[in-house]
Amino acid sequence: MKTPTLVSYSLRAQREISPNTSITVGYIGSHGYHEMIGIDANEPFPVICPAARCPATYPATFPAGVAGTPVPAGTYFVPTTTKPNTLLNNTWTWFSRGDSSYNALQIDMNRRLSAGLTLRGVYTVSKVLDDGDSLNATTSGGGPALASNPFNLRSDWGLGTFDVRHVAVISGIYALPLGSGKPYLSHWNGFANGLVSGWSVNSVVTLQGGFPFSPQLSYNPSGNGDTRNPVRPFLNPAFTGPIILGKPDQWFNPAAFVAPTNAAANIGFYGNVGRNTLIGPGLATWDFSTFKDTRIRERLSLQFRAEIFNLLNRANFNAPNGVVFTPSGVSPTAGAITSTSTTSRQVQFGLKLLW
């Protein structure tokens, strides 16, 4: 094992647009190596198909019967289930073989308190690439946590499971100009002034893209004997049209993929679809609140809070079912979304005593 290492670099420029408004533009990047990834260290050795038909006795079409389409040259083929160490079963071994990269452009516009109004807008466009970012299945975000093919780690090089391409947040606080010393209703006194003064409204709008996920099989037809880590399918070269349909009942089109075969003679293939090549649903939510501060004594005040989360009651969906194929064929729930990532509209009231 080696010590995981991260080299990071950044550059920012800030500019004042007005006495109360500034903008910051920055680049942030990093490169990580010697990161730990999980690998089955006792898989049978595959071979690389040197030509379009490998082995020569294998049918010249994909297992799903896409007519006239040969198995791609360079595909990893597992000719035997014999493990290097026949006294051991599968392993879960951590190797210091992981690499990663991160690049991001960040924009931050900030309007400081002016006439009771504070505004801030932040936008980030970024990209995370790695060849594995999960130490175990509980941290893999629903995808396989082991390297798909230990003999070709580069085939797992793709978007990180926590990659979100676009994130934007707009927030604001506005102290209402009401009551004594304010532009409006300043002549009110006593109870009436206490009723209208000390109010503020707050708003946070969050918009972000979806998380990536991998199309998978519920079984492992590679012939390596490791059922914990299903391999990915082949791309269907005869497919045309959009892969992402964007519907909750079928987020992606399973016809875009073809299942590898595990024949009776221990013939199996690793699919050629990349890791985390599909993007799940994004997120948009608007949280709104209003506060009222009432001073009771010099060092004692009462705050009333009314908060609304997901004001527009928008349904933000979790990642869809990534299993495209089962042993019996196309999964009937391929691409189906069964849960949401945020709650429905929530309203809460509260009192806070400050001293």
Checking if the pLDDT of 264 tops 50, the result is: no
Q: Taking residues 287-308, what's their average pLDDT?
A: 91
Q: Which residue has the higher pLDDT, 261 or 8?
A: 8
Q: How confident is the model at residue 267 (pLDDT cuts 50, 70, 90)?
A: low
- Average pLDDT (101-117) is 90
Is the separation of the CB atoms in 104 and 299 below 8 Å? no
Q: What is the pLDDT of residue 49?
A: 75
Nearest to 124 by CA among 30, 212, 208, 7: 208
In this model, does residue 318 exceed pLDDT 80? yes
CB 276 within 8 A of CB 160: yes
Q: What is the pLDDT of residue 348?
A: 96
- Judge whether residue 173 has pLDDT over 60: yes
Domain boundaries, the chain: 5-354
| Predicted pLDDT at 82 | 86
pLDDT given for residue 80 in this prediction = 82
Local confidence band at 69 (pLDDT 50, 70, 90 cut-offs): low
Q: What pTM was estimated for this model as a whole? A: 0.85
Pair 80, 278: CB distance under 8 Å: no
Task: Categorize the per-residue pLDDT at 193 as very low, low, confident or very high, splitting at 50, 70 and 90.
Answer: confident
Q: Which of 277, 334, 272, 36 is nearest to 163 (CA)?
A: 277
Q: How confident is the model over 222-248, as a mean pLDDT?
A: 86
Reply yes or no on whether the pLDDT at 270 is more than 60: yes
Which residue, among 115, 97, 211, has the nearest Cα to 156 in the 3D structure?
Answer: 97
Beta strands at 158-159 and 93-114: parallel, antiparallel or unpaired: unpaired
Residue 5 burial class via C-beta count within 10 angstroms: exposed 0-12, middle 13-18, buried 19 and up: exposed
Residue 104, class by beta-carbon neighbours within 10 Å (0-12 exposed, 13-18 middle, 19+ buried)?
middle
pLDDT at 311: 96
Q: For 322-334, what is the mean pLDDT?
A: 92
Percent of the chain with pLDDT over 70: 89
* pLDDT at 306 (0 to 100): 96
> Does the pLDDT of residue 37 top 70, yes or no?
yes
